[in-house]
Amino acid sequence: MIRSHEAGTLRPEHAGTTVTLAGWVARRRDHGGVAFIDLRDASGTVQVVVRDLEAVSELRSEWCVKVVGDVRVRPEGNANAEIPTGEIEVVVSELTVLSEAAPLPFQVAEYEPGSVNEEVRLRYRYLDLRREGPARALRLRSRATHLIRTVMEENGYLDIETPYLTRSTPEGARDFLVPVRLQPGHWYALPQSPQLFKQLLMVAGMERYYQIARCFRDEDFRADRQPEFTQLDVEASFVDQEDILELGEKVVARIWSEVHGYDVPTPLPRLTYADAMARYGSDKPDVRFGNELTDLTAYFAGTEFRVFQAPYVGAVVMPGGASQPRKQLDAWQDWAKARGARGLAYILVDEDGSLRGPVAKNLSEEHLSGLAAAAGAKPGDAVFFAAGKKTPSQELLGAARLEIGRRCDLIDESAWAFLWVVDFPMFEPIEDDKGEFQGWHAVHHPFTAPTAESLETFDKDPGNALSNAYDLVLNGSEIGGGSIRIHQKDVQKRAFDAIGLSEEEAQSQFGFLLNAFDFGPPPHGGIALGLDRLVALLGGYETIRDVMAFPKTSTGGDPLTGAPTPITAQQRKEAGVDAKPRSEQPEG
């Protein structure tokens, strides 16, 4: 090593020792005869004092330097309590410039972090990551992955890699495709997840598999979505749902305990999907606050009001919402319309308990009199209603509940609200543009096992079938999900039948997996945790871009490398992008 100590580790007990440091010039305070340099390396920063050295006036921010000097306690009154090394300084006897830096595109040593445009930061990500905040995110991520590996190894799981160049499978997200030079016209797909491979590993008798795996999905971006992202992918044989949930809890409990000293209360609370939808209008409820939905379908039975003559009528209260000006109430309508709803009916509860608003005029005295109590509203509150098909109405109210939580400051930002959502429906209806029923679609994936209760009936009554699928939710974000898989051939066939997948289609799409299942597949199940989102939540970051070393922008570009780029005619020819496949076009 060309240095003897790390800058951020020096303390008063090092006083009197001669040290060699190497790092970057974070700041320079040149007083002429004496100059101070804040020397930064990965461990932190230390003040370096330079006297009567010509070279110091040449130094500029972010030059890479080596210094030799003596550590000493700072003179009386000059200590800086703000920084860990503030009691000492290094008096330099020798200064070497290791490399120079061009004028910076933005200030690396920023007084107010976060004030630089993200695109600029990404273009110079190597400078951005020199800063404490961004660097801390990657350190946190490394810590989390290390803890994950520790827990997985402790529990006897094998880290096994699966291919990134694989075959395109239908359903789910759009695949990223890779042309194959040796077979012009044929394409690999990048895996949306290692799902099928991990099931093959179960057939292979590996029994306990995990992988911190990169996944690829060609869909539009969000703050918590990137085209390539990382999952902790897990699969185990001879397990039931309880085993997987317990393992998932071990993982998050260890991480939160080590990182935050927070004891995750295990076993975690569980909500059925049906309860989550009924109470929170979401399959990933944020339970850091209450303000639950109320089901008023029965309450409004027999109402004259057309809008409320619906299969579901529900409500959510906005505390203090009665004092909102008309303009704001109109804004709620626009908000609801932006989510595809017709609007958001509301009633205002005045301080004297009387109800007003457009909807109030349409309700009978009988329905009005008990309404505030039925909805759980107090004087001064507003009540929002959704009426119509059950699930979309609940989702609208659930979104309203979250918006209310934010606007009314109901959310306990310091809370870690973990929970499992279980008993997901096995299928959901597919509807066309007009809302007409078209068929059934697997909610999780077509290999998800029905619950014991649904085993006999799931294909006869798909709408009510429940599956052995579960999601791990933290503070209103889904951080993982999985299921117990089907391992019996006849059950699998019935599941394919239910979603209208013929034997031929199943064979052509998943044939390799079905063939494997001819050879004594063990009962198995697993889970995948979204690592990026998990670390973002762990560290309080707003976007998963913060916890990725080189993330992409919302159009899939990387401002640093300039990817993606056009390819040359030669590359195009070699890749066989335009070649016709030898075999027939696949359907669809």
Partner RNA sequence: GGCCUCGUGGAGCAGUUGGUUAGCUCGCCACCCUGUCAAGGUGGAGGUCGCGGGUUCAAGUCCCGUCGAGGUCGCCA
Task: Give me the residues that bind RNA (CB under 7 A), please.
Answer: 27, 29-34, 36, 38, 47, 49, 51-52, 57, 60-61, 74-75, 78-80, 82-83, 86, 89, 91, 103-107, 111-112, 115-120, 169, 171-173, 192-193, 195, 217, 219-223, 225, 338-340, 399, 441-446, 543, 545, 553-555, 557, 559
Nearer to RNA, 30 or 154 (CB): 30
List C-alpha distances in Å: 11 to 68, 71, 73, 276, 278: 16, 9, 9, 53, 57
Residue reference for tokens 């009314």: 408
DSSP secondary structure letters along 452-510: GGGTTTTTTSGGG-BBSEEEEEETTEEEEEEEEBP--HHHHHHHHHHTT--HHHHHHHH
Nearer to RNA, 367 or 485 (CB): 485
> Smallest gap, in angstroms, from Cβ of residue 241 to RNA?
17
Nearer to RNA, 113 or 353 (CB): 113
> Smallest gap, in angstroms, from Cβ of residue 2 to RNA?
25
> Smallest gap, in angstroms, from Cβ of residue 302 to RNA?
32
196 φψ region: left (φ > 0), alpha (ψ -120 to 50), beta (else)? alpha
> Smallest gap, in angstroms, from Cβ of residue 451 to RNA?
17
Nearer to RNA, 33 or 325 (CB): 33
Nearer to RNA, 112 or 504 (CB): 112
| Whole-number Å distance between alpha carbons of 35 and 49 | 6
Nearer to RNA, 169 or 324 (CB): 169
Residue reference for tokens 């609370």: 269
CB 32 within 8 A of CB 46: no
> Smallest gap, in angstroms, from Cβ of residue 170 to RNA?
8
Residue reference for tokens 């509940």: 401
Nearer to RNA, 515 or 554 (CB): 554
Nearer to RNA, 12 or 86 (CB): 86
CB 461 within 8 A of CB 478: no
> Smallest gap, in angstroms, from Cβ of residue 560 to RNA?
12
Encoded tokens for 129: 């990551």
| Whole-number Å distance between alpha carbons of 11 and 460 | 72
| Whole-number Å distance between alpha carbons of 578 and 564 | 19
**Position 127, amino acid:** L
| Alpha helices by DSSP H, 302-420 | 326-338, 365-369, 371-375, 390-407
Nearer to RNA, 193 or 211 (CB): 193
| Whole-number Å distance between alpha carbons of 282 and 165 | 35
> Smallest gap, in angstroms, from Cβ of residue 65 to RNA?
15
β-strand pairing of 382-388 with 158-159: unpaired
> Smallest gap, in angstroms, from Cβ of residue 553 to RNA?
3
> Smallest gap, in angstroms, from Cβ of residue 52 to RNA?
7
